[in-house]
Amino acid sequence: MMRIARFIFLLLFLSTSLDAQVPFSKDYTLSESNTPSKINAIVQDDIGNIWLGTDIGLYTFNGQVFIKISDSINKAVTALAYKQNRIVAGYSNGKVVEIVNYRATELHISNAKPSSSITSICLDASGMMFLCTEDEGIFLVLNDIGQNLNTSKGLPDNFIYKVSVVGDKRILLGSDNGIADIDWANNKTAISLSTTAQGLPDNIVRVIKSIPHSSLYWLGTQEKGLALYNKDTKKVWVPEMDGQWAWGQVNDIISISAHHNIAITESGYLVNIDLKDSLHIAAKANFFPNKKLQKLLLDKAGNLWVATDQGLTLISSEYISYFKLEFPYALRKVTAIACDKGNALWFAQNNELYSISLNEAGKPPLHVYNAEATITSLYVDKEDRLWIGTFGKGLWYRTNNGAITRAIGPEVLKNESILNINGTESSLWLAGLNGLEELSYPTALNKQIRPIKHYSKGSGIGTDYVYELYPDHKGNIWMATDGAGVCKYDGKNYYHWNFFSKLKNEVAYTVSEDAYGDIWLGTKDLYRLHKGYWQNMRAAEMPANLDANISAVIANGSGQVVSVYQRSMEEWYPKSNCFRHFNRKLGLGIDSTPLVLNCVTKDTAGNIYVPFEKGIVIFNKQDSLYDIRPSVDITNSSVYQKNITDQRHTFPYNENDISFHFKGINFTNPEQLNYRYMLRGYKERWINTNDESVTFPRLPPGDYTFIVQASLNNDFRNANEDTYSFVIATPFWRKIWFVSSMIILLILLAYLIIRAREKRLKNMSKLQEERMVFEYEHLKSQVNPHFLFNSLNTLTNLIEENKDTAVEYTVNLADLYRNMLAYRDMDLILLSEEWEILNDYFYIQKCRFGDALNLVTDIPEKVMNSKKIVPLALQLLVENAIKHNIVSNSHPLTIWIKGDENEISIRNPIQEKMSKEKSEGIGLKNISNRYKLLTNKRIKFGVEGGEFIVILPLL
Amino acid sequence: MPKGLLLGKNFSTLLYIMIRVRAYLLVSFLLLVQLSQAQTNNIYVINKGTVRFYSEAKQELISASSEEIKGAIDLGKKSFLFKIGIASFIGFNNPLQREHFNENYMETDRFPEATYSGKIIEDVDVSKNGEYDVRSKGKLKIHGIERERIIKAHIICKNGTIKIECKFIVPLADHDIKIPRIVMDKLAPDINVTVVATLIPNS
pLDDT higher than 50, residue A342: yes
Number of other residues whose CB lies within 10 A of the CB of residue A379: 23
Domain boundaries defined on chain A: 17-323, 371-508, 631-734, 764-953
pLDDT in tens, A582-629: 887 787 878 777 777 788 898 888 899 999 888 889 998 887 789 999
Per the CB < 8 A criterion, the answer to whether B46 and B82 are in contact is: yes
Mean pLDDT across the stretch A779-797?
A: 71
Fold of A631-734: Immunoglobulin-like (2.60.40)
- Choose among A272, A314, A308: nearest CA to A291: A308
DSSP code string of B77-110: TTEEEEEEEGGG-B--SSHHHHHHIIIIIS-TTT
pLDDT at A476: 93
* Of the candidates A207, A195, A124, A130, the residue with the CA atom closest to the CA atom of residue A161: A207
Q: What is the mean pLDDT of residues A320-332?
A: 83
As a whole number, mean pLDDT of residues A144-157 equals 91
Question: What CATH topology corresponds to A371-508?
Answer: Methylamine Dehydrogenase; Chain H (2.130.10)
Chain A, window 106-145: residues with a beta carbon less than 8 angstroms from a chain B beta carbon:
134
What is the C-alpha to C-alpha distance for residues B160 and B129, in angstroms, rounded to an integer? 8
Architecture of the domain defined by A17-323:
7 Propeller (2.130)
Is the confidence at residue B6, as pLDDT, over 50?
A: no
pLDDT at A5: 54
The per-residue pLDDT of chain A, averaged, comes to: 87
Interface test with B, best of A56, A176, A310 (most B CBs within 10 A): A176
Do the domains A371-508 and A17-323 match in fold? yes
State the Cα–Cα distance between residues A313 and A50, nearest whole angstrom. 13
List CB contacts (< 8 A) between B137 and chain A. Answer: 159, 176, 204
Residue B34's pLDDT band (cuts 50, 70, 90): very low
Do A298 and A318 touch, CB atoms closer than 8 A? yes
ipTM score for this prediction? 0.74
pLDDT grade, residue A789 (50/70/90)?
confident
Q: What is the pLDDT of residue B30?
A: 41
Q: How big is the A-B interface in CB pairs under 8 Å?
A: 15
pLDDT of residue B89: 93
Residue B164 structural domain: 3-201
* Total structural domains within chain B: 1
> What is the tens place of the pLDDT at every residue in A206-262?
999 999 999 999 999 999 999 999 999 999 999 999 888 999 999 999 999 999 999
A55 to chain B: closest CA residue: B174
Confidence of residue A168 (pLDDT cuts 50, 70, 90): confident
Output the pLDDT for position A501.
55
Give the sign of the dihedral formed by CA A538, CA A539, CA A544, CA A549: positive
What span, in angstroms and rounded, lies between the C-alpha atoms of A763 and A935? Answer: 11
For A17-30, the pLDDT digits (tens) are 577 788 999 999 88
- Tell me the three state secondary structure of residue B43: strand
Closest CA to A527 of A515, A517, A539, A516: A539
Residue contact A134–B148, C-beta within 8 A: yes
Does the CA dihedral A479-A484-A487-A493 come out positive or negative?
A: negative
Distance, in Å, from the CA atom of A911 to the CA atom of A893, rounded to the nearest integer, reads 8
Rounded to an integer, what distance in angstroms lies between the CA atom of residue A735 and that of residue A892?
Answer: 79
Q: What pLDDT is attached to residue B3?
A: 42
Q: What is the pLDDT of residue B12?
A: 40
Local confidence band at A35 (pLDDT 50, 70, 90 cut-offs): confident
Q: Please, are residues A208 and A174 in contact by the beta-carbon 8 Å criterion?
A: yes
pLDDT score at A550? 86
CB proximity B137 to A under 8 Å: yes
Inter-axis angle of helices A923-934 and A873-884, to 10 degrees? 160
Query: What share of chain A in percent tops pLDDT 90?
Result: 45
Contact B150 A203 (CB under 8 A): no
Does the bond joining A201 to the residue before it have cis omega, within 30 degrees of 0? no
Q: Give the pLDDT confidence of B99-123 residue by residue, as tens digits.
A: 988 988 899 999 999 999 999 998 8
Residues near A145 by beta carbon (within 8 Å), at least 6 away in sequence: A109, A110, A111
- For chain B, give me the number of helices (H) and strands (E)? 4, 9
pLDDT tops 50 at residue B19: no
3 state SS of A245: coil
Q: Which pLDDT band, with edges at 50, 70 and 90, does A484 fall under?
A: confident
Question: What is the mean pLDDT of the segment spanning A153-157?
Answer: 91
Please give the average per-residue pLDDT across A285-298, as a whole number: 94
Does B150 lie at the interface with A, CB-CB under 8 angstroms? Answer: yes
Tens digit of each residue's pLDDT (9 = 90 or more) over B155-182:
999 888 899 999 999 999 889 888 888 8
Which CATH number covers residue B51? 2.40.128.110
CB A286: neighbour CB atoms within 10 A?
Answer: 21
Instruction: Output DSSP code: residue B126.
Output: T
List chain B residues with CB under 8 Å of A159.
Answer: 137
pTM for the structure as a whole: 0.76
Contact criterion met (CB below 8 Å) for A461 and A477: no
Tell me whether residues B135 and A159 touch, CB distance under 8 A: no
Would an 8 Å CB–CB cutoff place B9 in contact with chain A?
Answer: no
Asked if A510 is an interface residue toward chain B (Cβ–Cβ < 8 A), one would say: no
- Is the pLDDT assigned to residue B10 strictly greater than 60? no
Tens of pLDDT, residues A38-57: 999 999 999 999 999 999 99
CB A298 within 8 A of CB A254: yes
Residue A14 has pLDDT above 70, yes or no: no
> Sheet containing A486-489: which strands, arranged edge to edge?
A466-471, A477-481, A486-489, A494-497
DSSP track, A462-505 = S-S-EEEEEE-TTSPEEEEEBSS-EEEE-SS-EEEE-TTGGGT-
| pLDDT of A780 higher than 70 | no
- pLDDT above 70: percentage of residues in chain A: 94
Mean pLDDT of chain B: 80
Q: Which residues of B touch A203 (CB under 8 A)?
A: 121-122
Cβ contact A943:A949 at 8 Å: yes
> For chain B, how big is the Rg over CA atoms in Å?
18
Q: Mean pLDDT over residues A125-136, rounded? A: 92
- The CATH architecture one would assign to domain A764-953 is 2-Layer Sandwich (3.30)
pLDDT per residue as tens digits for the range A852-880: 888 888 888 888 888 888 888 888 888 88
Nearest Cα of chain B lies from the Cα of A694 at a distance, in angstroms, of: 46
